[in-house]
Amino acid sequence: MAGFRRIALFVITNLAVVILLGIVASLLGVDRFLTQNGLNLGALLAFAAIFGFGGAFISLLISKRMALWTTGAKIIESPTTEQEAWLVRTVETQARQADIGMPDVAIYDSPEPNAFATGARRNSALVAVSTGLLERMNTREVEAVLAHEVSHVANGDMVTMTLLQGVLNTFVIALSRVVGLIAGRAMGGGDDEDAAPSPIAYMVTSIIAQIVLGALASLIVMAFSRHREFRADAGAAGLVGADAMIAALQRLGGEDEAESEGLPEPVAAFGIRPHRGGWLALFASHPPLEDRIAALRGA
């Protein structure tokens, strides 16, 4: 139930940070040092790990702020309505049951029923719900959605995703440099292994390879995300009951997509109602709703 925002923002921000760090490294001469030394394996892996994990952890640290900024979510500092007070009380109760610190609770304006959780630490997270979710779901269903998000926080999903992304970044950065070196040498000295690689060809090719390999790595992240959704559903069932979680998923499945504002095409696969057909399912951060309901029913 975290929606496309929790995962898509993390993946996109992480990819942008890693690419930016790669460009900075090139401008500072780090890549030049590596190529002059024949891309020494130890130095390459150390460089890739530092920048790879650095990009992932920077994305994690700014995830909460980025989510608030991009969605326009407003944290409930002091409830002004009974609905806001109920949201804060409900999350507080569930956080206590899940043995985590009280998350910030926020509401963002969107007609699409959705919710997300994010944050670098289990005891300092953010749980946000859309106005559309509050309008279209009853109290029991909203409670189940909140329990799902609290379970994401309790399971430490964002930290786990960060570690996975860091490992993938390391391989992406290292392999992209190898590809860049091969292309640079091909354009700089042909078959002469002692010839210096073309710096422009190396830089351009390594950046392109990093983008392509990063996109492929995101498929692994999304597959892992789909696995974590089942666990968060199970956690929510433990907090509010399987029937309530099933009811919430059924309500989502019954929403008329024609009435929803939808998501931009580049990120539509990350929505709470993922594409069901073809290869786009590989880019979905959530499994089909019917599969999640079947899992809750023990099928």
Name, in order, each residue with C-beta under 8 angstroms of 121's C-beta and a sequence gap of 6 or more: 101
Work out the percent of the chain whose per-residue pLDDT is above 70: 73
pLDDT of residue 143: 96
Q: Of 142-151, 192-201, 243-252, 264-273, which gets the smallest average pLDDT?
A: 264-273
Given the residues 149, 257, 259, 290, select the one marked as catalytic: 149
Domains of the chain: residue spans and CATH:
72-156 (3.30.2010.10)
> How far is it, in rounded angstroms, from Cα 43 to Cα 159?
26
Active site residue 84: no
Strand ranges of the sheet holding 124-130, from the earlier edge strand across to the other edge: 74-75, 104-108, 124-130, 115-121
pLDDT of residue 8: 56
| Type of residue at 144 | A
Q: Which of 35-39, 176-180, 232-236, 286-290 has maximum average pLDDT?
A: 232-236
Q: Of 2-6, 39-43, 280-284, which gets the smallest average pLDDT?
A: 2-6
Mean pLDDT across 233-249: 94
> How far is it, in rounded angstroms, from Cα 117 to Cα 119?
7
Average model confidence (pLDDT) across the chain: 78
Q: How confident is the model at residue 278 (pLDDT cuts 50, 70, 90)?
A: low
Query: Angle at Cα 69 formed by Cα 68 and Cα 73, nearest 5°?
Result: 40
Mean pLDDT across 86-90: 96
Burial bucket for residue 298 (CB in 10 Å: 0-12, 13-18, 19+): exposed
* Structure-token pair, residue 13: 């921000």
Mean pLDDT across 225-236: 91
Which tops the pLDDT comparison, 18 or 102?
102
Q: How confident is the model at residue 270 (pLDDT cuts 50, 70, 90)?
A: very low
